[in-house]
Structure 1
Amino acid sequence: MSLFEKNVVGVLGGGQLGRMLIEAANRLNIKVIVLDSENAPAKKIHAHGDHIAGKFTNKESIEELAKSCDVITVEIEHVNTYVLEGVSEKVMIEPSWRTIRTIQDKFLQKEHLRKHSIPVVPYREVRENTVEELAAIGEDLGYPFMLKSKTNAYDGRGNYPVRSKDDLGPSLDFLTDRPLYGEKWAPFKIELAVNVVQTKNGVLSFPTVETIHEDSICKLVYAPPRGVSSSIQKRAQELARKTVAAFEGKGVYGVEMFLLDDAAQTLLINEIAPRPHNSGHHTIESCGMSQYDAHLRAILDFPIPAKSLELRQPAVMLNILGGETRDSHLRITEAALSVPNASIHLYDKGDARPGRKMGHITVAGPTENAAQAAITPLIDLVDKLRAERSDIKTPSPAIAKPAPTVIVTMGSDSDIPVLVDGIKLLERFGIATEVNITSAHRTPDYMALYAAEAASQGVKVIIAAAGGAAHLPGMAASHTILPVIGVPVKPSKTDGMDSLLSIVQMPRGIPVATVGIDNGINAALLAARIVGTFDPAVAEALEEYIGGMEREVMAKSEKIKKIGWEEYLKQMKK
């Protein structure tokens, strides 16, 4: 029997996730039946008469859906798992109703993870919902801590930060009549996410991404994460796969985690979603297979080449949230039409409401910096629309600048004049640059750490200038795998040959590319050529620069032939 002969998919929920799932299904002629309200976004792009209008918690509606499908999946976890348990003997439920039931209760989710030795933030159950009980939890976990609803909580709804004892009463008032638990505040450096695909043959994962949240809603996703080493990204994927393997059922899972700001760079699982996730929208443009394609293939037992889940190009995803006016989201959409490589996804939800997810934009590029630079004007517009909202009282936090691609460092600030023209040239080429002073002799520990951590921060080349003994380039090279370009600086008392020889005569195994004395321009050009091997925009800028030099020389050649060398010399001396 062909794989395509028995593949009707039922989906509980018809929001934007269901809509993008159907976009993937349409390309494979897979029929999808949606259970949700009559005008649900997912139904609008898959026209047939078998969609079911109703609530995805309603027993009769779910039983009706089960009669029409080969497999049922979810695009939201807040469903009636007891009805799913009842129909599971007649139709496949993916992921398992047991998994959905565990994950939809965040406290049970934490208990399940702890049982399987998955590292999580410390937490405590709230049993009586009293100020006295919360005070005891505060003493145990410390302040601040997060008070969270166990169920029916998403996008920050159902959370309350308890910063001090003064917040104990207000937090209970805000989350009144809800089952609660307290969670220790995680001192994280960055939030990461991994979309995991559980199949009949094992567990696969998409690349690690960085997520930026604002007002407890995902605002931005960076793929790959900024300034996170490949080893940490690999650890995050391994942890995410181990986490999902602890649950039963096929499909895509969204795994959110914290990278702590500690010496061990600890990873802790935050939350799991038993479905495609906001952090994976970028995969539509950035990977060979999107999370929606992967989810369909997993629940239908179609092949999933692991290579297809790899990142083909860097990308940044920006959520479009509703603003103060009903058409506010369209202002962002119209601006995105003029941004190169911007893919716009609108969810057809009608009028905007403040904070409502109306769509998203993904900008892909040949490099991380190119994608980030292209989407920056749209981030600025999103921040402007947020500032207009009457329900928001706090300003948008500043988004960190792109990580530097080239570091320019020197042993003393007296070396700056040698480097300044090269720094300006790197900026002209659009290369993100960080300039710093790291003395090999006066700050040896700082210099060693700075060089050692450069690769993990996304740096590709180090330019190091030094005079006299000129140990900085060689010492930097001994602490990094990155290419180091040494710039010998002419000291005040010698001709600079001592600096040149000190840098160029490195022992075998510790190479340093060395340019001429005081030649910061050549160091910048060599760094740009290295970056240009993987960044087409920089390669194009280099070609233009080289072409400019050729045109300049040819113009001089024509002039000297026209007026003669004597007159040319006279004009040079003026």
Structure 2
Amino acid sequence: MDNRTVGVLGGGQLGRMFIESANRVGVKVIILDGDSAPAKQISAHGDHISGSFKDAAAVKKLAQICDVITVEIEHVDTQMLEEVADDGGVVVEPHWSTLRIIKDKFRQKMWLKDHGVEVAESVDLEGLGGGEEGMVGVCRRLGFPCMVKSKTEAYDGRGNFVVKSEEDFARAKKALGDRPLYAERWAEFCMELAVMVVKTKDGVKTFPTVETVHEDSICKLTYAPPRNVSRETAQRAQELAKRAVAAFEGKGVFGVEMFLLKDDSLLVNEIAPRPHNSGHYTIEACPLSQYDAHLRAILDLPVPEHGLRLREPAVMLNILGGQTPDSHVQIAQQALESPNASIHLYGKGEARPGRKMGHIVVTAPTLSAAEREMQPLIDAVDAQKGEPKVIPQTPSLSPDEPLVAVIMGSDSDLPILRPCFQILTTLSIPFTTRITSAHRTPDWLRTFSKTASSTSLRVIIGAAGGAAHLPGMCASWTTLPVIGVPVKATHLDGVDSLYSMTQMPRGEPVATVGINNSTNAALLAVRILGASDEGVRERLRVWMEGNEKEVLRKDKALFEGGWEAYLEGMGK
């Protein structure tokens, strides 16, 4: 499809998954890394280069046989990348200047700040000689606790030290050694979020916002979408990520990690100029993966924004090395029992404690369903470490997150809705019920309707009598399908409610069933859910077969016993 050759500095798991994407569209990738690098294991050609991606001569050799060079890790020789880019023979993406800025974390922070991107306050310790006296003064001003960090060669928590009091300075200096250091004000965050950003020749676009859970400074879990985060906050995170990445030159995928603070504000923590651990979920959960998007962006191929959407909620679990050399294999074997789990092992040989050996992604119609399926695997990874830790699950309104909301204008509508509740219960459809009036509680109805699509809800059933504005008003404030149930009131036998629901103006549809027919409302909701959930379709099929058998039973009784006996039996 594309006859250009892409060179990659680094051949670890990110390079491996990048090659998987490139192979599917026939793009040749050449890796510069050691002979046994995970990426080389799945690419059978003889042009890969053995050596260090920090070695200038090896980088130059790669540039001579590639059209585009990209990176799996930012800690590379940017001086040589500048030289090969200036020679004009190879394109470096993202731009070498971006890699040079980002790989120095203090310089990265200052660059973002200068471009109006919100970051934590940071102070250079190099001008103070990096000694304890300078550190003490800076950290006193920033307040305790604060972070002392290495500017370079820092990742997965390596090169970071939490300074909780003046007594910690000697330990920080010993732990961090002679690295160039800076201090950073502590961010009182309630959650860590991440956004994968795609920068193309046409502009900047994003994958959805996700929640990340770190353990020992390593990303352990990713939740897509994030738990208990409003749609507005998720959108603000995407906009912040776009602004951050727009400050840098070059194309490709960038991982933007950020803090959600207790006051609901956001700070960018750091940026990775490449695919990132927090974006692994995209392989299964999005039409295009972060690796597909990176390849397309650096080759100027189309990256449709719709391809970056979340098709289904997902949870990603990193398989970190445990206490035994085969700990990751044991986890993968257990994951094979999970019907919705996708397993990725990285080909790194024997496990070491804390080493990233692979990951697992579970997708499901709801985030809570994905969490439940993933929990045994989380427990297994924790058991391998010997220190079980509890990851809190998403609180929900019922044992499962509701997929259907049944709303009514008054509790007097409850008897009419009983058959609806019975159908949903019989077919194991989690639902919630609420009372809200279009006329008596318009603000509450508006709030409920506008936020419904950012929850687990997929369908809304609205029952109302009289003027029956409830489902129509709800439909005007939500993108979810709304099903109206006209309720027979004291006057006009419910025909007024039926007309009110069916005569919605163009652009504001309400699917309306017969008067008092909440049974059909429930079944229509089930069919909507079943369009994307095979399990729901199967339960509905079994239920419909039961109806068929019941009708055939009645036909047989009428035919064999006659109408008189049948009517007599009905009267009993």
2:393 matched residue in structure 1: 398
2:158 matched residue in structure 1: 157
Deviation at 1:318, TM superposition (A): 3.4
Equivalent AA in structure 1 for residue 334 of structure 2: A
Once structures 1 and 2 are overlaid, which stretch shifts more, 160-169 or 11-20?
Answer: 160-169
2:59 matched residue in structure 1: 62
| CA deviation string 1:298-345 (max 9, x = no partner) | 43x352242673448325243322233222222332233344454332
Deviation at 1:134, TM superposition (A): 1.3
Deviation at 1:487, TM superposition (A): 5.9
Match of 1:182 among 177, 184, 193: 184
Deviation at 1:131, TM superposition (A): 3.5
Equivalent AA in structure 1 for residue 21 of structure 2: A
Deviation at 1:85, TM superposition (A): 3.5
2:11 matched residue in structure 1: 14
Once structures 1 and 2 are overlaid, which stretch shifts more, 506-515 or 42-51?
Answer: 506-515
**192 and 433 in structure 1: CA distance in 2 versus 1, 3 angstrom threshold:** farther
Specify the SS of the correspondent of 1:559: helix
Specify the SS of the correspondent of 1:155: coil
For the pair 1:210 / 2:210, whether they are aligned, the reply is yes
C-alpha separation in 1, matches of 2:123 and 2:225: 34
Specify the SS of the correspondent of 1:11: strand
2:98 matched residue in structure 1: 99
C-alpha separation in 1, matches of 2:280 and 2:229: 20
TM-score computed with the length of structure 2 as normaliser: 0.79
Deviation at 1:393, TM superposition (A): 6.3
2:522 matched residue in structure 1: 524
1:422 matched residue in structure 2: 420
| CA deviation string 1:396-417 (max 9, x = no partner) | 3335567543223457778767
Equivalent AA in structure 2 for residue 182 of structure 1: E
Once structures 1 and 2 are overlaid, which stretch shifts more, 229-238 or 54-63?
Answer: 229-238
Query: Within 5 Å, which residues of 2 pair with 1:548-559?
Result: 548-559=546-557
Unaligned runs of 5+ in 2: none
| CA deviation string 1:417-464 (max 9, x = no partner) | 765663453355454433445577997755543333223335333335
**397 and 242 in structure 1: CA distance in 2 versus 1, 3 angstrom threshold:** same
C-alpha separation in 2, matches of 1:204 and 1:561: 70
C-alpha separation in 2, matches of 1:101 and 1:270: 18
Deviation at 1:556, TM superposition (A): 1.4
C-alpha separation in 2, matches of 1:413 and 1:190: 41
2:380 matched residue in structure 1: 384
Specify the SS of the correspondent of 1:395: coil
Deviation at 1:153, TM superposition (A): 2.4
Asked if the contact 2:227–2:394 (Cα under 8 Å) also holds between the matched residues in 1, the reply is: no
Deviation at 1:107, TM superposition (A): 1.8
| CA deviation string 1:360-415 (max 9, x = no partner) | 234456xx42x86367423422233314423x464333355675432234577787
1:115 matched residue in structure 2: 114
Specify the SS of the correspondent of 1:207: strand
Specify the SS of the correspondent of 2:547: helix
2:329 matched residue in structure 1: 330
**41 and 221 in structure 1: CA distance in 2 versus 1, 3 angstrom threshold:** same
Asked if the contact 1:209–1:222 (Cα under 8 Å) also holds between the matched residues in 2, the reply is: no
Equivalent AA in structure 2 for residue 32 of structure 1: V
2:241 matched residue in structure 1: 240
Asked if the contact 1:282–1:315 (Cα under 8 Å) also holds between the matched residues in 2, the reply is: no
1:32 matched residue in structure 2: 29
C-alpha separation in 1, matches of 2:440 and 2:286: 46
| CA deviation string 1:124-151 (max 9, x = no partner) | 444545334212201xxxx665554332
Equivalent AA in structure 1 for residue 254 of structure 2: Y
Deviation at 1:32, TM superposition (A): 3.4
2:280 matched residue in structure 1: 281
Match of 2:369 among 366, 369, 373: 373
Equivalent AA in structure 1 for residue 344 of structure 2: H
C-alpha separation in 2, matches of 1:261 and 1:468: 45
1:23 matched residue in structure 2: 20
Equivalent AA in structure 2 for residue 395 of structure 1: V
C-alpha separation in 2, matches of 1:12 and 1:553: 68
For the pair 1:345 / 2:341, whether they are aligned, the reply is no
Equivalenced residue count is: 554
Query: Within 5 Å, which residues of 2 pair with 1:161-310?
Result: 175=176, 177-178=178-179, 179-188=181-190, 191-198=193-200, 201-215=201-215, 216-223=217-224, 236-258=237-259, 266-299=265-298, 301-306=299-304, 309-310=307-308
Deviation at 1:74, TM superposition (A): 1.3
C-alpha separation in 1, matches of 2:352 and 2:36: 17
TM-score computed with the length of structure 1 as normaliser: 0.79
Asked if the contact 2:438–2:470 (Cα under 8 Å) also holds between the matched residues in 1, the reply is: yes
C-alpha separation in 2, matches of 1:501 and 1:107: 69
C-alpha separation in 2, matches of 1:187 and 1:435: 34
**169 and 423 in structure 1: CA distance in 2 versus 1, 3 angstrom threshold:** farther
Equivalent AA in structure 1 for residue 423 of structure 2: L
Query: Within 5 Å, which residues of 2 pair with 1:344-493?
Result: 344-364=343-363, 368-369=365-366, 373=369, 376-390=372-386, 392=387, 394-399=389-394, 404-409=402-407, 419=417, 422-423=420-421, 425-429=423-427, 431-436=429-434, 446-464=444-462, 480=478, 482-485=480-483
How many percent identity over aligned positions?
50
CA root-mean-square deviation: 4.2
Deviation at 1:297, TM superposition (A): 4.0
C-alpha separation in 1, matches of 2:279 and 2:163: 30
